[in-house]
Chain A
Amino acid sequence: MDKAVTTHKLTKKFGDFVATDEITFEVAQGEIFGFLGANGAGKTTAMRMLCGLLTPTSGEATVAGYDVYTQPEQIKQRIGYMSQRFSLYEDLTVRDNIRFYGGIYGLSRAELKTKSASIIRELGLDSVADALVESLPLGWKQRLAFSVALIHDPKVVFLDEPTGGVDPITRRQFWDKIYEAAHNGTTIFVTTHYMDEAEYCDRVSIMVDGRIKALDTPTELKRTYGVDSMDGVFQILARGTSGK
């Protein structure tokens, strides 16, 4: 197994509507893979199929070497997922949330203890460790959710718009955490519609109306389309279809 994620003509239809249209790509291990697209492009749908939350209509896909149709439970042991919606328990404390998800992932008591301590320390949450999550600022919640998604040392982590709604500095801090995880060998599969974040990725794919329109490194994409920012690339691709 050398690829973290592979798909071949992966398709999801909701009735007649094709949300994800025959997408094919590969993600290498340890890569930061950016999954770009406007709202409604089909990013979340694709990600949910890869996480074993949604059964594909057709096509193939593997995650960490396991088949999404037949081995979803094996996949689930090896992936982390941070959904588009914030999904820690707001009515539990920081510590309770870590303990709960760690426990569900089967960490031992000792592991839980060290993980819990290191997450709280690294995020600088010591003073609010016993406060309810709902009382934290959004940026803190997002970093906590990311750390919780990594609690069982997954091979691949899927992040669905992890930095939605926060300021650039907080986003930068979040990306520091992403780099750190990637540095430790975790494959990062991240969707975003912030074009500056696309620059941080090893490779990006750009989705328009369910299809992948471009897939390459940011440098290569900018050269191909003759622009000096990812935003420029995105404008050309997105406007190219919706304008005509």
Chain B
Amino acid sequence: MIYIITTWFAPSSIHRSSLLIMQRILYMIEKEFKQLRRNKVLLRMMLAAPVMQLILLAYAANFEVKNLKIAIVDQDHTTYAQRLAGKFRYAERRQIGNFLFQGYLPNSKSAYEELLAGRADLVLIIPPHFERDLGKENQASVQLLVNAIDGTKGGIASGYAQTIIRDFNLAIRTENIDFDAGSLAGLNVTNQYWYNPRLEYKTFMVPGILFELMLLIGGMIAALNIVREKEIGTQEQLNVTPIKKHEFILGKLTPFVIIGLIQFTLGLVVGRFLFQIPIEGSLLLIYGFAFLFMLLSVGLGLLISAISDTQQQAMFVVFFCLVIFILLSGLFSSTQDMPQWAQYLNLLNPLKYIIEVGRNVLLKGSTLRDMQSQFFTLLGMAIALIGLASWRYRKTV
């Protein structure tokens, strides 16, 4: 049995009839779709965006996991140690990961230096007595130092390394049956990516990208839409009509939620058939969450439109929020590796929760029960945002 000690190495880092209310909302929605139908550029962009982003990121993924630089500290100098090292040196030939062997290092101090300087992404340390322990005690440990500045890359590197070590483990056990007194079950190494066993970057990315796009549509398109009405003066025209606050809010909310769900569907179809992402969990559940998240996104857009007077202002605020949300979301790097303050900030990041939901429900098949804390957090955020937006929206200034 080989234990792997993975060290994550990251330096410095009502008096009216309800019918009339319905009627107004319906006229608002109808108008919005009529306008959208005529806005060919926006329409095309909204439909093309999920497909394009997914394809783009899939290519980026190929680039991302290539050329992982590995160095090895062999303190044992035995046959087994060399065989294990060889597995890493020639991993590429057998298409397990893409390690670029950088050479042997004398000791762990130099290993740290290599990591610090960025000359290695991963250092495998084979301690003294590796072979002896493996033979005598039927277990031994190796140490993996992973450069986790880029958390995703680090995660993938460590995942590949574990796969290789497991391979090696299996190999020595099958060729040396008496080595293995127990069963093969003892071979399991801790693998934090167990629900994405092939460690496919795109499988991991697709759910994230889908929701990131929904936030973009909800936040940006809705905010710009309303601020544009302010700019051209139709908002003022609406404000002299007897339309009620909640009618206006619902009239703006509904079309964008519908558009967001259409886009989500499109993205899901592309993800499923072009990238073979699994859909392990309930489709109804994932749509329920998509609906909730879209409400939240449009709520954010409404709030931003309420505090902006021009499209430029709105655009700036949306970008500011989006960039922070996306960077902290765990879409590109693992949230656990972020500094404490970033993790606290992340408690307010809706994208973080929905990406957790997306990955868990789609890839792992999690249920609503598993996701209830995310559900209540997102629900609370949606209510807060829509509530704030309604409160800020004034017909009379």
Q: Indicate whether A76 reaches chain B with its CB closer than 8 angstroms.
A: yes
Task: Flag the segment in A31-39, A89-97, A186-194 that touches B.
Answer: A89-97
Q: Mark B235-270, 1 if CB is under 8 A from A, else 0.
A: 011111111000000000000000000000000000
Interface residues of A in 71-99 (CB under 8 A from B): 72-73, 76-77, 79, 81, 83, 85-92, 96, 99
Interface size on A, as a range, is 20 to 34
- Complex: A88 Cα to B35 Cα, angstroms: 13
Q: A53-B395, A89-B35, A106-B23 are in contact. Are A101 and B232 (CB under 8 A)?
A: no
Contact check, A76 vs B39: say whether CB atoms are below 8 A apart.
no
Q: Which residues of B contact A76 (CB under 8 A)?
A: 240-242
Q: Indicate whether B27 reaches chain A with its CB closer than 8 angstroms.
A: yes
- Among B233, B239, B240, max chain A CB count under 10 A is at B240
Q: Which residues of A contact B23 (CB under 8 A)?
A: 103, 106
Q: Indicate whether A105 reaches chain B with its CB closer than 8 angstroms.
A: yes
Q: Indicate whether A55 reaches chain B with its CB closer than 8 angstroms.
A: yes
Interface residues of A in 35-69 (CB under 8 A from B): 51-55
Q: Indicate whether A104 reaches chain B with its CB closer than 8 angstroms.
A: yes
Q: In the complex, which of the residues A79, A88, A90, A100 contacts B240, with contact meaning CB atoms closer than 8 Å?
A: A79
Contact check, B232 vs A77: say whether CB atoms are below 8 A apart.
no
Q: Indicate whether B132 reaches chain A with its CB closer than 8 angstroms.
A: no
Q: In the complex, which of the residues A54, A91, A103, A104 contacts B397, with contact meaning CB atoms closer than 8 Å?
A: A54
Q: A72-B395, A72-B396 are in contact. Are A51 and B243 (CB under 8 A)?
A: no
Closest to A77 in B: B242
Q: Which residues of B contact A88 (CB under 8 A)?
A: 234, 237
Interface residues of B in 362-397 (CB under 8 A from A): 395-397
- Complex: A96 Cα to B234 Cα, angstroms: 14
Q: Which residues of A contact B28 (CB under 8 A)?
A: 104
Q: A53-B397, A106-B242 are in contact. Are A86 and B233 (CB under 8 A)?
A: yes
Q: Which residues of A contact B94 (CB under 8 A)?
A: none
- Among B233, B234, B238, max chain A CB count under 10 A is at B234
Q: Which residues of A contact B39 (CB under 8 A)?
A: 91
- Complex: A99 Cα to B27 Cα, angstroms: 8
Q: Indicate whether B31 reaches chain A with its CB closer than 8 angstroms.
A: yes
Contact check, A92 vs B31: say whether CB atoms are below 8 A apart.
yes
Rounded to whole Å, the gap between the CB of B273 and the closest CB of chain A is 35
Q: In the complex, which of the residues A54, A105, A132 contacts B242, with contact meaning CB atoms closer than 8 Å?
A: A105
Q: A52-B240, A91-B38, A91-B39 are in contact. Are A104 and B233 (CB under 8 A)?
A: no
Q: Indicate whether B24 reaches chain A with its CB closer than 8 angstroms.
A: yes
Q: Which residues of A contact B38 (CB under 8 A)?
A: 91-92, 132
Closest to B251 in A: A104
Q: Which residues of B contact A81 (CB under 8 A)?
A: 237, 240
Chain A contact residues, CB within 8 Å of chain B: 51-55, 72-73, 76-77, 79, 81, 83, 85-92, 96, 99-101, 103-106, 132
Chain B contact residues, CB within 8 Å of chain A: 20, 23-24, 26-28, 30-31, 34-35, 38-39, 232-234, 236-243, 395-397
Q: What are 27 A-B pairs at a CB distance below 8 A?
A: A51-B240, A53-B240, A53-B396, A53-B397, A54-B396, A55-B396, A73-B242, A76-B241, A76-B242, A79-B240, A81-B237, A81-B240, A83-B237, A87-B233, A89-B31, A89-B35, A91-B38, A91-B39, A99-B27, A101-B237, A103-B23, A103-B26, A104-B241, A105-B241, A105-B242, A106-B242, A132-B38
